[in-house]
Amino acid sequence: MEDQHNITTHNPSASQRLIDRFGREIKYLRISVTDRCDLRCVYCMSEEMQFVPRSQLLTLEELYRIGKTFVELGVNKIRITGGEPLTRRNIIQLFQSLGQLGGLRDFTLTTNGTQLPQHAAALKAAGVTRINISLDTLQPDRFHAITRTGELQRTLAGIDAALDAGFQRIKINAVILKHRNHDEVVDLVRFCQERGMDISFIEEMPLGVINEHDRAEAYYSSDQILHDLQQVYSLLPTTETTGGPSRYYQICGSDTRVGFISPHSHNFCDSCNRVRMTAEGRLLLCLGQEHSMDLRRVLRAHPLDDEPLRAAIIESMNIKPKGHDFDLTSQPVLFRHMNATGG
């Protein structure tokens, strides 16, 4: 059930910040610039996907207007995601324009890495501060099976390109599934250590219907991963944060941080500071709920005036839910897949 609210416009003062009903201040916007992708990861998409028609996507100019308005409302971190953001035509232009916004402390990208050899240098020049690259396995056959279509070598070349472009503190994101890649957590950490990168392990979330595997059976908890790593490494919990949901540990004697994104075992909703924009302009107030607001309608009704957009964003704080309640064992799950959500 979608919770699309009608928007009442009012004039917020210039200093108005985004604070929801539970006192949480929103400082972090994730923008999905496309739901399309050159891979088909089994936990993210079903084999047959219907994508949003291109005509319904926000234009790059509209995406910029939204980013700019959020920054004016106190957001200081924007992450560009998808789908695979680097498959969208001319996307570097959006990075260039958002990168100029004063007030943006952290400007980041989540990517599967396949297009980084072409784009890493331009992203750095545009002002992207950090990159997260998704990599679930170091074994080519497993990589092909998990992504359904991909070649490990291309993502590895993307990681090299990001390192060569001078990105610091690159983070690898790995979704861990029991009996698919759970035995690789130490190898993945070592891979990151050797390259001065961080890593976050992610528990699979029940977004969208998938038939490839049973999400409950594939569940491998963050605590189990931590336990596996502790057989090899000394890990110290840190209070460091990158403004996202990861809990971090430092590997003793190394720069590498190991993060855990644990929507099931360590719910992170109390400190939620973020909202997400889908590629067609739907502002999602929670990763795991359908509460949303149609910002595309507001944008297009007022092409030359950002004030209604600003008012709509402020209004949306009234429908931000307290949190998600993911349950791997019961149906239905949310129908929205992760590629449409903007992970």
Which of ligand SAM, ligand SF4, none lies near 204, with the C-beta cut-off 5 to 8 A by kind?
ligand SAM
222 binds ligand SAM (CB under 6 A): no
Give the E-state strand segments of the chain in sequence order: 3-4, 28-32, 77-81, 106-111, 130-134, 171-175, 198-202, 235-237, 247-251, 257-261, 274-277, 282-284, 291-294
As a dihedral over the C-alpha atoms of residue 197, residue 85, residue 36, residue 300, rounded to 10 degrees, the angle is 150
**C-beta neighbour count of 47 within 10 angstroms:** 10
63 phi/psi in degrees, rounded to 5: -60, -40
Our measurement of the distance from residue 153's CA atom to the centroid of its chain's CA atoms, rounded to an integer in Å, reads: 23
Whether a cis peptide bond, with omega within 30° of 0, leads into 332 is yes
Give CA–CA dist 107/101, Å, rounded: 10
Per-residue contact string for residues 106-145; x = within reach of ligand SAM by CB under 6 A: ----xxx---------------------x-----------
Which of ligand SAM, ligand SF4, none lies near 109, with the C-beta cut-off 5 to 8 A by kind?
none
343 binds ligand SAM (CB under 6 A): yes
Per-residue contact string for residues 77-96; x = within reach of ligand SAM by CB under 6 A: ----xx-x------------
Kindly determine how many residues on this chain lie close enough to bind ligand SAM according to the rule CB under 6 A: 19
At 271 the three-state DSSP class reads helix
Which residues of this protein are in contact with ligand SF4, per CB under 6 A?
37, 39-41, 44-45, 82-84, 112, 134, 338-339
Indicate the residue among 131 and 229 with the shorter CB distance to ligand SAM: 131
Indicate the residue among 69 and 137 with the shorter CB distance to ligand SF4: 137
- Window contacting ligand SAM (CB under 6 A); options: 19-27, 37-45, 56-64, 286-294: 37-45
Which amino acid appears at position 26 of this protein? I
Q: How far is the CB of 45 from ligand SF4 (least distance, A)?
A: 5
Angle, in degrees to the nearest 10, between helices 307-316 and 60-72: 60
**Among candidate residues 278, 272, 224, the one with its CA nearest the CA of residue 63:** 278
Which amino acid appears at position 160 of this protein? D
- Window contacting ligand SAM (CB under 6 A); options: 13-21, 69-77, 191-199, 201-209: 201-209
Give CA–CA dist 65/47, Å, rounded: 34
Give CA–CA dist 84/4, Å, rounded: 26
Which of ligand SAM, ligand SF4, none lies near 173, with the C-beta cut-off 5 to 8 A by kind?
ligand SAM
Which of ligand SF4, ligand SAM, none lies near 40, with the C-beta cut-off 5 to 8 A by kind?
ligand SF4
Which residues lie near ligand SAM (CB under 6 A)?
37, 43-44, 81-82, 84, 110-112, 134, 173, 175, 202, 204-205, 207, 338-339, 343
